[in-house]
Amino acid sequence: MKFLDEYRDPAAVARLRHAIGQVAKRPWVLMEVCGGQTHSIVRHGIDELLPPEVTLVHGPGCPVCVTPLELIDRAIAIASRSDVIFCSFGDMLRVPGSRRDLAGVKAAGGDVRIVYSPLDCLSLAERNPDRTVVFFAVGFETTAPANATAVWQAKRRRLTNFAVLVSHVLVPPAMEAILASPINRVQGFLAAGHVCSIMGTAEYEPLAQKHRVPIVVTGFEPVDLLEGTLRCVTMLEEGRHGVENAYPRAVQPQGNPHARQVVEEVFELTDRKWRGIGMISRSGYRLRPAYAEFDAEARFSVNEITAEESRLCLSGLVLQGMKKPHECPAFGKECTPQTPLGATMVSAEGACAAYYHYGRLRGSGCEVCG
Ligand code: SF4
């Protein structure tokens, strides 16, 4: 398959693995900030192919994982109303709230539906004028354009029975928070290729300059990930910092101007709480005042709902690269995908779930080169 097979080519993987081994002379810690990359790294055993000098840690790149527990509880409160049709992507349904999840609301008779696009909610709202259709707008910069488009269209179509529960977060402020932490051990980043395909690469330059770190825009296949790692380690060994693009087939420096334009029209920056990490200044989006009528939190008065995290869960340390999932005492015991204590275990893109599914405690190898 074009654009896939060549990026899983065993010979290319072996060549890059050898090159990293030749370049890496000192210990380096690199972080990817994308759940898709985390999943691919663990699935293909990329981190286990690397020389002992290079450690990959997994950052807060899974949007489901960083959605605060209290926001899940607010979603459940809204979804439990008889006058609401609550729509979400499928990965949010099994994320546990304080007492139950959205799948439990559905099982109890709530009208909770999985949609594949927020735009589907608009026609649903038109067909159900006596109920309010609420979309759970979770995600990073990648999902923001479609969600912004849905709100923009709803306003033009004068839909009064559509609203969004917004939980959008942004990657660069999270990287800034990790780099600024006194316990930080990350020395270089593999930046998420799909985020950069929307936003471009300019936002990363100030980070790289301020903290003197290499940031390499990286794709998702084994060859992409090893190429990004090689370029990051090479920059570190040569004492260079800055931004490099190792994913040019998808990422242009300016990103996608049309997508950015609709996001800019509908959303504005706000402080956001990240699950396991806490509040990060200007790290997410909220609706602009011109679109406030579509704010589900305000419409259903759920802002006062708060929640307390499990004391056993170390996902905050996992998300900051301070712990690997299997170093959590609850991993595979109290906490499994069937009984998740934290969102990093329930989401397919969560680091804990990836380690569990791919049997990291039982040993694994690379799917590509064995
Ligand atoms: S294994 Fe479970 S309890 Fe431990 S950090 Fe991961 S999600 Fe939290």
The answer to whether the CB of 234 falls within 8 A of the CB of 22 is no
Angle between helices 10-23 and 222-237 in degrees, nearest 10: 10
Ligand 1 nearest atom to the CA of residue 352, by list position? 6
The 3-state secondary structure of 200-233 reads CCCCHHHHHHHHCCEEEEECCCHHHHHHHHHHHH
Q: What is the pLDDT of residues 81-135, one digit of tens each?
A: 999 999 999 989 988 898 999 999 999 999 999 999 999 999 999 999 999 999 9
Phi, psi of 277 (to 5 degrees): -115, -45
Distances (CA, A) of 89 to 133, 141, 296, 342: 14, 16, 17, 19
Rounded Cα–Cα distance for residues 57 and 337 (Å): 21
Q: What's the gap in Å between 63 CA and the centre of ligand 1? A: 16
Q: What is the pLDDT of residue 338?
A: 86
pTM of the model: 0.90
Q: What is the pLDDT of residue 312?
A: 86
User: Within 10 A of 119 (CB to CB), how many other CB atoms are there?
Assistant: 16
Ligand 1 nearest atom to the CA of residue 343, by list position? 7
Q: What is the pLDDT of residue 1?
A: 56
Rounded Cα–Cα distance for residues 341 and 350 (Å): 12
- Reduce the DSSP state of residue 72 to 3 states and report it: helix
The answer to whether the CB of 163 falls within 8 A of the CB of 299 is yes
Rounded Cα–Cα distance for residues 188 and 218 (Å): 12
Q: Is the CB of 319 under 6 A from ligand 1?
A: no
Ligand 1 atom 7: residue of nearest CA: 342
Which sign does the torsion angle of CA 61, 63, 69, 70 carry?
positive
Q: What is the pLDDT of residue 2?
A: 64
- Reduce the DSSP state of residue 312 to 3 states and report it: coil
Which residues, including other chains, have CB under 8 Å from residue 166's CB and lie 6 or more apart?
137, 147, 267, 285, 286, 287, 295, 296, 297
> What radius of gyration do the chain's Cα atoms show?
21
Q: What's the gap in Å between 297 CA and the centre of ligand 1? A: 28
Ligand 1 nearest atom to the CA of residue 329, by list position? 4
- Here the tokens at position 354 are 């990836």
Rounded Cα–Cα distance for residues 93 and 84 (Å): 16
Rounded Cα–Cα distance for residues 7 and 18 (Å): 16
Rounded Cα–Cα distance for residues 204 and 191 (Å): 9
Q: What is the pLDDT of residue 236?
A: 98
Phi, psi of 83 (to 5 degrees): -95, 15
Q: What's the gap in Å between 253 CA and the centre of ligand 1? A: 36
Rounded Cα–Cα distance for residues 212 and 338 (Å): 42
Q: What is the pLDDT of residues 173-192, one digit of tens each?
A: 999 999 999 989 999 999 99
Q: Is the CB of 331 under 6 A from ligand 1?
A: yes
| Ordered per-residue pLDDT tens for the chain, 370 residues | 566 788 888 999 999 999 999 999 999 999 999 999 999 999 999 999 999 999 999 999 999 889 999 999 999 999 999 999 999 999 899 888 989 999 999 999 999 999 999 999 999 999 999 999 999 999 999 999 999 999 999 999 999 999 999 999 999 999 999 999 998 999 999 999 999 999 999 999 999 999 999 999 999 999 999 999 999 999 999 999 999 999 999 999 999 999 999 999 999 999 999 988 889 999 999 999 999 999 999 999 998 898 888 888 898 889 888 889 999 999 999 999 888 888 788 888 899 999 999 877 643 443 344 3
Which sign does the torsion angle of CA 235, 369, 53, 47 carry?
positive
